[in-house]
Structure 1
Amino acid sequence: MEKEQLWTKDFIITSVVNFFMMFAVFLLLVTMAPYATETFQASSSIAGLSASIFIIGVLCGRLFAGRAITKTGNKKILMFGLVLYIVTTLLYFAAISLPALIAVRVIHGIGVGLATTAASTMVAQMVPASRKGEGISFFTLSMVLPTAVGPLVAILLTQYVHYNAVFLLSLLLGVISLVISIQTRDVQPAVNTKDTAQQPFSLSNYFEKGSLPIALVAMVVGLAYSSVLSLLTVYAEAINLVTAATFFYLVYSITVLSTRPFSGRLTDKKGANIIIYPSLVFFAGGMLLLSQAQYSWMMLLAAFCIGLGYGNFQPITQTIAIKRTSSERMSLAISTYYVFLDFGLGIGPFLLGLLVPFTGYRGLYLTTVIIILFGAICYFWIHGRKDKTFHQRYAAETAS
């Protein structure tokens, strides 16, 4: 039986657009705090807020994107999000005060939240059902690569050029994304004839209950991963492994790049459990190793294990969220999944940071091992114990 086509023009363009958006996100995420400090003499806490407040905008964008996509279509929301992204990127040049900069960050986040949710929904709808896991795994590479490339480019630009170069590059990425996204075809499923507009206060208009359980699992495990995103640099400085930390995300990205295509295909054939359980074991092992790192090789080995673990856990749980809902509510399923995942990634640094005065950074990373094990138990009760039956039923439905 011939495989259904995955690498279509629309799939490639949408993946490139998502890559450019996430590239710009990490460009600005890394540079915003020092920019606020140097330009507006912001305190360390306010400078951190100028960087992290972006996630509030993203959450708002994702929250309303699902319903908006259902009503107006993917492409319109994608284009609107990109236009909003371009306009707010221009406003970085005009932000002459700290409150103005923070406001721009929030609106910018809304644009990114709308655009990336629409892109994810388009891909989920265009990927053949029989290759859903493989397609989502490939697409989510467009979110992984920027974590390695974005910070590196941002640091080079700020060191050798100027902060304005970061803003210009972000603007260019947005304009290119808008131009090439015009060529995409809007993939919109048949919409349920029930008029959701008559129920404006119903939570079901904003959240998909079918994807909510696995989204909660992603939130818990994402909470643990947030410590890597936000606290690794400070931890590396404390244990004198700064050089190793600069290569951490490179090792992580290479590991994810080399394993995700296989994990996606295996999920399509055997179900999610064959990937999820080993990935959580590797993730917990990587965080344990990170907590005890005394040499560079230990930190880089931890990056490898975390890449095998969290790097494969995330796209497979997203695939589960998509498979557990009907096609007409797929946009809501994706926005629900990302709202909770982003919330875990966003609130994690704050909650875990509260532990540092009591446990130190090593104790903090040990604590994340417990969080991951709790996430594994949640996964088992929510989905894992029913995965074999679910996979067989889904395979039968897509084959018919």
Structure 2
Amino acid sequence: MTQENIHLGASAVPQASLGANPVLKLLPLTLTVFIGFLTLGMQLPVLPLHLHDTLGMGTLVIGLVVGAQFAASLLSRAWAGNFADMRGGKRAVMVGLVTAAVSGLVYLLSLAFVATPVTSVWLLLGGRVLLAFGESLIVTGALGWGMGLVGAQHAGKVMAWNGIAMYGAYALGAPLGVTLNGGWGFTGIAVATVFVPLLALLIVSGVRAVAPTATRRAPFYKVMGAVWVPGMGLAFCSVGFGVITAFIALLFAARAWGDASLAFTAFGLAFIGARLLFGHLPDKIGGARVALVCVVIEAVGLLLIWGADTAAIACLGAAFTGFGYSLAFPGFGVEAVKRAPPQNRSLAMGAYVAFLDISLGLSSPLAGALAGTWGIGAVYLGGAVAVMLAVVVALVLLLPEGQGRQPV
């Protein structure tokens, strides 16, 4: 990459900031993302059961409601990326947190219509869409903001620490959500969804803003075209994450294995551990090399869940899946940053993460249909097959310059 690419422009990254410890500079932002994403973590083991047990919905509807958030996130990525580039990452994150809090109010409203399940489901769907817009602003803003704080040469660390915050929130949020649901039902989840993002808003207000990097909107399709190859790798490997978030609670319930939050916690702890121990590797040895190894580990984890006959084996599979997916995401992401226009890095990160949205938006309902036909365990065999397709993408990215890489 050129010197211009590394520095994002003199106004965006002061020279002094590049010499500071990037992890310390990212710490307040990481904490903000962590608290903000607790709202999602609390819902993971509870929302599918609320839809199934309280509202009487089948697996296809559950997949559609869960997947709707990712579809809505996809539709909002272009706007969120341009907003962050033109208005600044800090403002994007703050608006996203407020939007996430409003989604909790819609969840509360849905509880007034439990006696008419279809109406309640539609309101839940509306809340998921609002949460998607909030999540899109938070993630896209935080990635661009983080690279503005520490420089694009630390892109892998920015993605790694944002991921630690997100999936740490999933790991802690899952048992917290089960506890809230046990004491106060889905009402407790809805109330927490209102107030937890507001706590993150208090923290983010004290973090230094970074000057916007763009003065006009960039065409989303052009940036998407620059990052589509690593984006496809992200899409395939994200199927494993999708089938765990949408269906692991139902798998545990169907096999009478008890509390599914243990699987979420195993996934999250392995995810965090991998990034703490090996999060520097994509920046150091290359994203495609790291991704190639890690997608194989992720596929092994999904196969373990598919063949599990005890909760312990399923949790071990969730841990393998979390470990592999943990480093595949920044591995493919570093390759995407190499192809991104420097003045549109938030938009480029939005375009890259859009492949996650595409993956989860499609795989959740498809996995729901698969579960309805072949049983809940079949979604993990299908997930393993999809994840192995990411191996092909990683191999393409490892081709010599000009064969596997797309020009910006």
1:83-122 to 2 correspondence within 5 Å?
A: 83-95=98-110, 96-97=112-113, 98=120, 99-122=122-145
Aligned: 1:234 with 2:257: no
Q: Pick the aligned partner of 1:213 from 229, 238, 246.
A: 229
Q: Pick the aligned partner of 1:181 from 199, 204, 208.
A: 204
Change in Cα spacing, 1:37 to 1:300, as seen in structure 2 (3 Å) is closer
Change in Cα spacing, 1:108 to 1:352, as seen in structure 2 (3 Å) is closer
CA distance in 1, matches of 2:107, 2:101: 10
The equivalent of 1:222 in structure 2 is 238
SS of structure 1 residue aligned to 2:22? coil
Aligned: 1:272 with 2:287: yes
CA shift for structure 1 position 12: 1.9
The residue type paired with residue 178 of structure 2 is I
The residue type paired with residue 213 of structure 1 is V
Change in Cα spacing, 1:164 to 1:352, as seen in structure 2 (3 Å) is closer
CA shift for structure 1 position 336: 0.7
CA distance in 1, matches of 2:293, 2:177: 34
Indicate the larger mover: 149-158 or 22-31: 22-31
CA distance in 2, matches of 1:163, 1:237: 18
The equivalent of 2:166 in structure 1 is 143
CA shift for structure 1 position 263: 2.1
The equivalent of 1:343 in structure 2 is 358
Aligned: 1:376 with 2:399: no
CA shift for structure 1 position 312: 1.7
Identity of aligned residues (%): 21
1:1-400 to 2 correspondence within 5 Å?
A: 4-9=20-25, 11-33=26-48, 35=50, 41=55, 43-44=57-58, 49-95=64-110, 96-97=112-113, 98=120, 99-188=122-211, 190-191=213-214, 195-196=216-217, 202-204=219-221, 207-242=223-258, 245-356=260-371, 358-381=373-396, 383-386=397-400
TM, length-normalised to structure 2 = 0.81
For the 8 Å contact 2:62–2:368, the answer to whether it is kept is no
The residue type paired with residue 264 of structure 2 is Y
Change in Cα spacing, 1:274 to 1:109, as seen in structure 2 (3 Å) is closer
Change in Cα spacing, 1:140 to 1:390, as seen in structure 2 (3 Å) is farther
CA distance in 1, matches of 2:247, 2:185: 25
For the 8 Å contact 2:287–2:333, the answer to whether it is kept is no
Bigger relative contact order (CA 8 A; separation at least 6): 2
CA RMSD of aligned residues (A): 3.1
CA shift for structure 1 position 275: 1.8
CA distance in 2, matches of 1:276, 1:249: 22
The residue type paired with residue 82 of structure 1 is L
User: Which ranges in structure 2 are unaligned for 5 or more consecutive residues?
Assistant: 1-17, 114-119
CA shift for structure 1 position 358: 5.0
User: Which ranges in structure 1 are unaligned for 5 or more consecutive residues?
Assistant: 392-400
CA shift for structure 1 position 171: 2.2
CA shift for structure 1 position 100: 4.0
Change in Cα spacing, 1:212 to 1:155, as seen in structure 2 (3 Å) is same
Change in Cα spacing, 1:348 to 1:38, as seen in structure 2 (3 Å) is closer
Change in Cα spacing, 1:100 to 1:257, as seen in structure 2 (3 Å) is closer
The residue type paired with residue 84 of structure 2 is I
Change in Cα spacing, 1:170 to 1:387, as seen in structure 2 (3 Å) is farther
SS of structure 2 residue aligned to 1:328? helix
CA shift for structure 1 position 218: 0.7
CA distance in 2, matches of 1:371, 1:51: 19
For the 8 Å contact 2:240–2:383, the answer to whether it is kept is yes
The residue type paired with residue 73 of structure 1 is G
The equivalent of 1:398 in structure 2 is none
SS of structure 2 residue aligned to 1:306? helix
For the 8 Å contact 2:229–2:393, the answer to whether it is kept is no
Residues matched between the structures, number: 379
The residue type paired with residue 370 of structure 2 is L
Change in Cα spacing, 1:353 to 1:84, as seen in structure 2 (3 Å) is closer
The residue type paired with residue 227 of structure 1 is V
The residue type paired with residue 209 of structure 2 is D
For the 8 Å contact 2:159–2:330, the answer to whether it is kept is yes
C-alpha offsets along residues 157-214 of structure 1, whole Å, 9 cap, x if unaligned? 12113433323322222212222222222223543x6x548xxxx5447x43322221
CA shift for structure 1 position 238: 4.0
The residue type paired with residue 140 of structure 1 is G
C-alpha offsets along residues 281-311 of structure 1, whole Å, 9 cap, x if unaligned? 2112222222221234432332332232112
C-alpha offsets along residues 46-70 of structure 1, whole Å, 9 cap, x if unaligned? 5665554333333333231112222
CA shift for structure 1 position 38: 7.7
For the 8 Å contact 2:298–2:323, the answer to whether it is kept is yes
CA distance in 2, matches of 1:387, 1:180: 43
